[in-house]
């Protein structure tokens, strides 16, 4: 089967960091935040220029009036008849920049200028002629298109070739002649080619238009219109390309360092765990151990969990090997005996006496019974090791002790029962029949090894929150060598009496399944086994 390619963790971390790095740039492009900043910057520049142009035109207009140039009149001063009057707002008239790509509508390109329908005002015309060279000279620096109109909307000064034409068909001019300050965005002419990045032409698809009324007292005597394309992102970035390249290189280096650091702290210990697992799969014992420098808590927990799992699996494998060996040995002896007896019966049945035939058949029956007992005990051990305590189980210690004591006294065992006030009346979290089988295994062990005449004492008491049951016999005890093996499966010194060596193993497994412990406290001068189980009252509290 073809191995499926999967990226390494370090590659994924590097890619994720680069995506995170690109997110702010993508956000700027989508929200057009930088374009709005550039537009507002251009608007601010044009507002300042318009204020100076209006002040210059107003000064030139005042000089012409002082020199005797009259207003064009039709029986009344034109300033009174035609110029709009606005309310006074005090000496200060600040004008902040307000344009925003996200909020403001982009108007279509401006309509063409129209021929003049009436003559220009003489004073305004002369003032315009006076400052036109100044406007043309300033345009070389500002690159803004500048037009000044009189109160009729006729162009009296311009940086273009439309001097004398009418602009009163434009929305911004009409509003400015009514005393409003107007800023708007207009589309650029679509047939203009995009300039190169190094060109002074900005090549933006919109133009910023700023119109400001020219006030003489409370009268609007004209308006100034300034138009300029804002800087576009490409040119702005190109202008800062050196700094951006340095910052970009720094960010890329930071991303690489972060990815390397993350890979070192995450992928390196994970790879160590993977290598240990591969060694364990190859059969090396003890290969999986906790990583020495895991760097992170999660990797440390993973390493410890994998090491515990490997240790448990190794112990389980060793247990299965030993168990299989013991089962094979325990079954092999009676099977071999049965096979030999059957062969003798088959070959010499007619030559044997009735007593001999009965003896061989009895041996077969005895070995069959031993095999049956072994199978039964093996099933009990498997059930005990896989047992899960039932929810809400509660065993009556006092009732089980009385039942077991009566049964074994009936079998001739000298059994005395000692119960403390608390220990004998409490409950343990296991079924009555389970506690009965555990005590029966210990008493049967005492009967087999101590004999019927040996006294046995069963004592029930408390030790803190635990219930403690002691089974003490007065037999010959257990040797120090055998004491280390009494709980091993198939270990028994009463094999001739039908012992399988599984009773204590089953009892210990049942106690462990119910969160308790079964231990051999004393071996010499009589065996002393202790069962320790949590009480139901303690678990509920």
100 in a structural domain:
yes
- Of the three residues 358, 386, 414, the one that is the final residue of a domain is 386
Cβ contacts of 148 within 8 Å, gap of 6 or more: 53, 57, 128, 131, 135, 155, 156, 157, 158, 214, 222, 223, 224, 225
Looking at the DSSP bridge assignments, the partners of residue 219 are 85, 216
Please give the span between the terminal C-alpha atoms of the chain, in angstroms, as a whole number: 57
Residues 319 and 374 reside in one and the same domain: yes
Same domain, 267 and 408: no
178 and 322 both lie in a single domain: no
Give the whole-angstrom CA distance, residue 353 versus residue 355: 5
Q: Are 317 and 403 contained in the same domain? A: no
Domain count, the chain: 3
- Report the DSSP pairing between strands 106-107 and 182-187: parallel
The confidence score (pLDDT) of residue 214 equals 92
Q: What is the pLDDT of residue 12?
A: 67
DSSP single-letter state for residue 404: H
- By CB atoms closer than 10 A (0-12, 13-18, 19+), residue 472 is buried
Instruction: Give the C-alpha separation, 48 to 372, whole Å.
Output: 109
pLDDT score of 261: 75
Q: Say if residue 216 is exposed, middle or buried (CB neighbours under 10 Å; 0-12, 13-18, 19+).
A: middle
Identify the pLDDT of residue 258: 76
Q: How far apart are CA 384 and CA 433, in angstroms?
A: 13
Structural domain span for residue 315? 240-386
Same domain, 208 and 62: yes
The pLDDT of residue 69 is: 54
Among 355, 370, 386, the domain boundary falls at 386
Q: Among positive and negative, which fits the CA dihedral 163, 168, 174, 179?
A: positive
Question: Where is the domain boundary, 210, 237, 264?
Answer: 237
Same domain for 228 and 212, yes or no, is: yes
Q: What is the DSSP letter of 266?
A: I
In a domain, 362, yes or no: yes
User: Is the C-alpha dihedral spanning 504, 507, 513, 517 positive or negative?
Assistant: negative
Indicate whether this model's pTM tops 0.75: no
The H or E element that residue 5 is part of is: none
**What's the alpha-carbon Rg for the chain, to the nearest Å?**
53
Q: Helix, strand, or coil here: 154?
A: strand
In this structure, the answer to whether residues 251 and 376 fall within a common structural domain is yes
Q: Which two tokens stand for residue 505?
A: 């193993």
Q: What are phi and psi of 154, to 5 degrees?
A: -90, 135
**pLDDT for residue 147:** 96
Q: Cα dihedral sign for 71, 74, 75, 81?
A: negative
The CATH number of whichever domain residue 94 belongs to comes to 3.30.450.20
pLDDT, averaged per 10 consecutive residues of the chain (541 residues), comes to 60 70 59 72 93 93 73 42 60 83 86 83 89 93 93 92 90 92 84 48 75 88 92 64 78 78 74 81 79 74 82 72 61 74 79 82 78 66 60 79 86 82 67 83 78 79 85 76 71 58 76 83 78 76 58
Distance, CA of 207 to CA of 184 (rounded, Å): 8
Query: Does residue 55 sit within a domain?
Result: yes
If asked whether residues 478 and 525 sit together in one domain, one would say yes
């Amino acid at each position: 089967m073809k191995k499926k390619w999967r990226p390494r963790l370090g590659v994924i971390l590097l890619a994720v960091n680069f995506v995170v790095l690109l997110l702010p740039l993508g956000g700027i492009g989508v929200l057009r935040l930088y374009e709005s900043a550039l537009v507002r910057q251009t608007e601010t520049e044009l507002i300042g220029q318009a204020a100076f142009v209006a002040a210059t035109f107003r000064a030139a207009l005042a000089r012409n009036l002082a020199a005797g140039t009259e207003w064009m009149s039709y029986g009344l001063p034109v300033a009174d008849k035609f110029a709009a009057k606005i309310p006074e707002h005090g000496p200060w008239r600040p004008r902040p920049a307000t344009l925003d790509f996200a909020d403001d509508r982009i108007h279509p390109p401006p309509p063409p200028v129209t021929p003049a329908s009436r003559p220009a005002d003489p004073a305004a015309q002369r003032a315009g002629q006076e400052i036109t060279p100044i406007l043309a000279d300033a345009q070389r620096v500002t690159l803004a298109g500048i037009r000044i109109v009189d109160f009729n909307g006729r162009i009296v000064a311009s940086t273009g070739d439309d001097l004398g034409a009418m602009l009163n068909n434009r929305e911004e001019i009409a509003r400015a002649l009514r005393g409003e300050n107007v800023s708007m965005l207009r589309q650029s002419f679509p047939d203009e080619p995009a300039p190169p990045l190094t060109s002074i032409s900005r090549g933006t698809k919109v133009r910023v238009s700023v119109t400001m009324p020219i006030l003489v007292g409370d009268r609007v005597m004209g308006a100034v219109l300034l138009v300029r394309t804002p800087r576009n992102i490409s040119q702005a970035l190109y202008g800062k390309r050196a700094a951006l390249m340095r910052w970009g290189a720094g960010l890329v280096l930071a991303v690489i360092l972060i990815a390397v650091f993350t890979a070192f702290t995450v992928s390196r210990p994970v790879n160590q765990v993977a290598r240990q697992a591969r060694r364990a799969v190859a059969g090396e014992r003890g290969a999986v151990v906790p990583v020495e420098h895991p760097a992170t808590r999660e990797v440390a927990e993973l390493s410890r969990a994998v090491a515990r799992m490997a240790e448990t699996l190794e112990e389980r494998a060793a247990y299965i090997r030993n168990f299989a060996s013991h089962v094979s040995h325990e079954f092999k002896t009676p099977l071999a005996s049965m096979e030999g007896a059957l062969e003798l019966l088959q070959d010499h049945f007619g030559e044997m006496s009735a007593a001999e035939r009965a003896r061989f058949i009895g041996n077969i029956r005895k070995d069959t019974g031993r095999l049956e007992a072994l199978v039964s005990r093996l099933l009990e051990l498997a059930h005990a090791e896989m047992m899960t305590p039932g929810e809400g189980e509660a065993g009556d210690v006092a009732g089980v002790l009385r039942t077991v004591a009566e049964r074994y006294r009936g079998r001739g065992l000298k059994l005395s029962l000692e119960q403390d006030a608390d220990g004998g009346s409490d409950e343990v979290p296991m079924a009555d029949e389970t506690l009965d089988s555990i005590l029966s295994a210990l008493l049967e062990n005492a009967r087999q090894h101590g004999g019927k005449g040996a006294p046995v004492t069963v004592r029930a008491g408390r030790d803190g929150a635990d219930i403690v049951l002691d089974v003490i016999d007065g037999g010959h005890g257990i040797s120090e060598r055998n004491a280390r093996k009494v709980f091993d499966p198939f270990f028994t010194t009463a094999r001739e009496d039908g012992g399988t060596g599984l009773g204590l193993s089953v009892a210990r497994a049942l106690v462990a399944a119910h969160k308790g412990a079964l231990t051999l406290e004393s071996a010499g001068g009589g065996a002393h086994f202790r069962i320790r189980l949590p009480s139901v009252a303690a678990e509920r509290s």
